[in-house]
Structure formats: structure tokens, C-alpha cells
């Protein structure tokens, strides 16, 4: 069975940006693009924006509500976010990590909203990856593996080495989809592939000593799943 997923991250709606950009217009254009493509599922990668826009944000995604998944970013107000998108696996949990599976994949959604993973979440993650025989699709706001960007040096996931160890102990394929750094990148090790995704709002150049934001383009990541195979591409749009 073939399925397409739009991974949309770092919209920062109703927030002040370091460059001139209309992030709401960018987000609306992405919604138009995924509708034209007939995307089956939307996954929000965090840093949605100011909590005052959450209601309108989720209303705009109503078409995908049955297949909508959300992970929080470090700029999100988790308590407010949970009131609009309760944890689908642990309704009483004050964190937003959860999972589900189909015939080919285990889908894992992690909560890095505090810039690190809690010990209960790490224990849960270890248990989930150790008990499955499926390929793993892991969605998280912060990258797990280092990327050559000043944002990585200033604002990395604090305990990512523990997550790296958990994932690297597994023998099956793992695909990590992330945001946070406002750039595009592919890296990984062994059977693990990490895909950093273009932001909705603005981008940050890689390989520079200081943070250099720009708004030359915006976009999202299109993921295609076809009978256990994973293909992905960045969709870049012009302002």
C-alpha cells in the first residue's frame, strides 16, 4: 500500500522573525500544495507558533484530522498544545510522545520540547525499538545526529548521545525526520538515516560560524511509503 506524508515544521506563526517573511502565507501555500498533491497524512514537526493561533492552526488542518500527527518543539507551549492535540496513546500524560504501527513500519513521535528527553520517555523509547521487528519512522523536533550549523552548536538536543546509543543498538532500518535547525540535511550512521527539513518560516545557512537567517525559499518534506520502502524529497517553494 502506498502512502504520502507531508512533514511540516517550524512555522513560527504569529511570532517575530529575524528576517522579513510572511510565515502565515507560507503555511497557507504549503497547504495548497499538499492538497494538489493529494497527500494522505500530515505530520507537524513542532515550533508551530504562538499559542494564540493554535485553534486556527488546527482548524486549517481539519481535512487531515483523522491522519494528523503532531510533535512539539522548544518554542511551543506544551500545555496549550495538549489541549488542542491530546496525547493519542497516553491521554493523561503531560508529555507528547506516542507511537503506532502498520504492516510495515513502527511510527514513533518524540517530545523534545524541553530541549531534552525525560527519563520515562527514554525508557519508553528503548522498549519500543527493542520489541519491534518493523522498520522505524521516528519523528522528532530536534536532530539526533550533529549537523554543521551554528544552531547545532548553540541549541542542540541536550541528551542526544543517549538516543543515538539506543538507536544504534538496533539492527533494523531507522528513518529520523526532524526540524529545529531551519535547514536541509541528510546524515546518519549504519542503518540509521536522518533527514533535516526545510522550515515553513525562514531558513538558516549551514557551514557558517554565526547564525545567518534568510527567506529565499520555504517548504516541507514529502515522504512516500510504498510496501515497506521509504522515499523522501524536499519541496521548496518561492516566497
The residue whose grid cell reads 513502527 is 106
Burial class (CB in 10 A: 0-12, 13-18, 19+), 144: buried
For residue 107, CA distances in Å to 23, 129, 155, 177 come to: 28, 10, 26, 11
Please state the pTM of the whole predicted model. Answer: 0.97
Task: Say what the pLDDT of residue 171 is.
Answer: 87
DSSP string across 17-32:
-SS---HHHHHHHHHH
Q: What is the pLDDT of residues 83-126, one digit of tens each?
A: 999 999 999 999 999 999 999 999 999 999 999 999 999 999 99
Domain 2-237 belongs to what topology? Purple Acid Phosphatase; chain A, domain 2 (3.60.21)
Is the model's pLDDT at 1 over the cut of 90?
A: no
Q: What is the pLDDT of residues 49-94, one digit of tens each?
A: 999 999 999 999 999 999 999 999 999 999 999 999 999 999 999 9
- Domain positions in the chain are 2-237
Is the model's pLDDT at 166 over the cut of 90?
A: yes
Residue-level length of the chain: 239
Amino acid at each position: 500500500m502506498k502512502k504520502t506524508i507531508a512533514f511540516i515544521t517550524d512555522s513560527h506563526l504569529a511570532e517575530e522573525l529575524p528576517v522579513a517573511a510572511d510565515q502565515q502565507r507560507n503555511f497557507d501555500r504549503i497547504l495548497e500544495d499538499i492538497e494538489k498533491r493529494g497527500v494522505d497524512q500530515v505530520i507537524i514537526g513542532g515550533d508551530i507558533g504562538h499559542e494564540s493561533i493554535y485553534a486556527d492552526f488546527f482548524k486549517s488542518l481539519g481535512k487531515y484530522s483523522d491522519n494528523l500527527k503532531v510533535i512539539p518543539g522548544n518554542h511551543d507551549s506544551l500545555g496549550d498544545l495538549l489541549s488542542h492535540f491530546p496525547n493519542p496513546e497516553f491521554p493523561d500524560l503531560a508529555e507528547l510522545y506516542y507511537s503506532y504501527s502498520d504492516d510495515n513500519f513502527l511510527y514513533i513521535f518524540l517530545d523534545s520540547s524541553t530541549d531534552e528527553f525525560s527519563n520515562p520517555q527514554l525508557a519508553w523509547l528503548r522498549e519500543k525499538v527493542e520489541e519491534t521487528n518493523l522498520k522505524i519512522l521516528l519523528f522528532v523536533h530536534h536532530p539526533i545526529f550533529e549537523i554543521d550549523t551554528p544552531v547545532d552548536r548553540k541549541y542542540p538536543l541536550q541528551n542526544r548521545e543517549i538516543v543515538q546509543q539506543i538507536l544504534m543498538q538496533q539492527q533494523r532500518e531507522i528513518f529520523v525526520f526532524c526540524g529545529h535547525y531551519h535547514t536541509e540535511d541528510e546524515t546518519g550512521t549504519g542503518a540509521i538515516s536522518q533527514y533535516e527539513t526545510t522550515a515553513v518560516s525562514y531558513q538558516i545557512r549551514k557551514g557558517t560560524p554565526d547564525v545567518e537567517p534568510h527567506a529565499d525559499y520555504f517548504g516541507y518534506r514529502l515522504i512516500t511509503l510504498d510496501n515497506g520502502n521509504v522515499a523522501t524529497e524536499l519541496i521548496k517553494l518561492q516566497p
